[in-house]
Amino acid sequence: MRRACLLPNRVLPLLAAISLLFIARASGQTDQTLYSFTGGADGDNPLSNLILDKAGNLYGTTFIGGAYGNGEVFELERNASGEWTEKVLYSFTGGLDGSIPSYGGVISDALGNLYGTTTDGGASNLGTVFELTPNGAAWSEKVLYSFAGGKDGLNPYAGLTLDTAGNLYGTTYGGGPYGNGTAFELAPLAGGQWKETTIHSFNLTNGDAPAGGVVLDGQGNLYGVTQGGGSFKGGTAYELMRSSSGKWTEKLLHSFGNGSDGTGPYVEQLVFDEQGNLYGTTLGGGSHQGGTVFKLSPSISGAWKEGVLYSFDPTIESNPFSGLIFDRKGNLYGTCANGNGETTVGAVFELTPGAGTWNAHDLFLFSRLNGEFPEASLVMDASGNLYGTTELGGVYGQGVVFELVHSSPQN
């Protein structure tokens, strides 16, 4: 069974009710462990997704570890012979600079600066938004905002989204006027300062505990999920629309927990297809109570319809913590955090569209030495290779960065 100590209390009752079994169904890719964390200065327990730069280097965060034990930002660089080397870009001290970058990875701007969140630390020890700037071989950290625990929220679990104007968007798991979390915007000002604005406060009815981040559409509207709240207390999918005056309005797209539609969408960003449909996962629920992959489709009337593309069967796979990615052919890829607890401890899966249905395939099943509990979403390179992290496992048992090598390049 996976360790429960790193999970929010709201998740524990859900996981306790779910059977955790895995059976391999298919394998189309070869796994390579790129790096095993030792649990020391190099990092410990990577929970976040990764990003790729133009040179093919990977960037991510670890939950704890680093020079001060409070987490870090790292880079994995591949040399000409194909070997990977880890470099710690920044270790959080646990003070004003932040502490514990939970499920939020980093994003990059056009200049190569990195942005992310920490769940703790900062001026009030309630979390931060930070920027890392390259300076030759070194990196310098700057805290853009420290959460105070009032209407601005507290404890951001997820990463950030950047718009074309350089504004940053994210969520806090708790806080706000109602104590159920917030969505926020950080806007750059002259002189290098940043202004934080709470653009929405969740009130349980419209959502509770947004552990995941937000995604932008072409009109600048934001979309995301909350783990709890809504009409059936099973979480929500929501849209935040900005008017010409700059005011934001929330629209509830779907309340989870009404039957087999899934419950508890967790640490994810929704993903759009070319037709404007949204796709995501739920940690639990579905036909077999092992979680789901869902689709949200807009209608001409403005309403959204939710449909379950796949319900995970706990005798095969269960508990997708994070979101999905598309390839160029329209296939979806994601991770399941749990296996049967004995021989398998997580999986990477693929969903391929068929004639009115979607077919699921396990691309890889983890077995502790090559990783344990993949909780983050994946990233794909131009050749169709997939990269991700596992919380535990590997040579030292403290988590890995892995690559699944595709058998043929993407078209």
Residue 299 lies in a domain: yes
**What's the confidence (pLDDT) of residue 313?**
83
Average pLDDT of the chain to the nearest whole number: 91
Q: What number is the average pLDDT over the span 382-411?
A: 90
Residue 58 lies in a domain: yes
Q: What number is the average pLDDT over the span 365-392?
A: 96
**What's the confidence (pLDDT) of residue 340?**
73
Q: What number is the average pLDDT over the span 285-308?
A: 95
Residue 18: pLDDT over 80: no
Residue 249 lies in a domain: yes
**Which band of pLDDT confidence, cut at 50, 70 and 90, is reported for residue 1?**
very low
**What's the confidence (pLDDT) of residue 28?**
53
**What's the confidence (pLDDT) of residue 106?**
98
pLDDT tens readout for residues 306-335: 999 999 987 778 999 999 999 999 999 999
**Which band of pLDDT confidence, cut at 50, 70 and 90, is reported for residue 21?**
very low
**For the chain, what is the domain count?**
1
Strand partners, 90: 73
Residues 346/366, Cβ–Cβ less than 8 Å? yes
Residue 13: pLDDT over 60: no
Q: What number is the average pLDDT over the span 217-238?
A: 97
Residue 409: pLDDT over 80: no
Looking at the chain, the number of H-run helices and the number of E-run strands are 1, 28
* CB atoms inside a 10 Å sphere around CB 107: 17
- Cα–Cα distance for residue pair 23/294, rounded to 1 Å: 22
**What's the confidence (pLDDT) of residue 274?**
94
Residues 272/255, Cβ–Cβ less than 8 Å? no
Residue of 198, 195, 207 lying closest to 231 (CA atoms) = 207
3-state secondary structure of 106: coil
Residue 388: pLDDT over 50: yes
Q: What number is the average pLDDT over the span 370-376?
A: 96
Residue 2 lies in a domain: no
Residue 380 lies in a domain: yes
Residue 4 lies in a domain: no
- Cα–Cα distance for residue pair 330/411, rounded to 1 Å: 11
Spacing of C-alpha 200 from chain mean position: 20
**What's the confidence (pLDDT) of residue 74?**
98
Q: How many residues does the chain have?
A: 411
Residue 5 lies in a domain: no
Residue 3 lies in a domain: no
pLDDT tens readout for residues 36-88: 999 999 999 999 999 999 999 999 999 999 999 999 999 999 988 889 999 99
Residue 149 sits in which domain range? Answer: 12-406
pLDDT tens readout for residues 133-192: 998 889 999 999 999 999 999 999 999 999 999 999 999 999 999 999 999 999 999 999
pLDDT tens readout for residues 237-285: 999 999 988 899 999 999 999 999 999 999 999 999 999 999 999 999 9
Residue 376: pLDDT over 50: yes
E-assigned strand segments in 79-181: 84-91, 107-108, 114-118, 128-135, 138-146, 161-162, 168-172
Residue owning tokens 């759009």: 272
Residue 19: pLDDT over 60: no
Phi-psi group of 52: left, alpha or beta (phi > 0 → left; psi -120 to 50 → alpha; rest → beta)? beta
Residue 6: pLDDT over 80: no
**What's the confidence (pLDDT) of residue 408?**
59
**What's the confidence (pLDDT) of residue 169?**
98
**Which CATH number belongs to the domain containing residue 108 in this structure?**
2.120.10.30
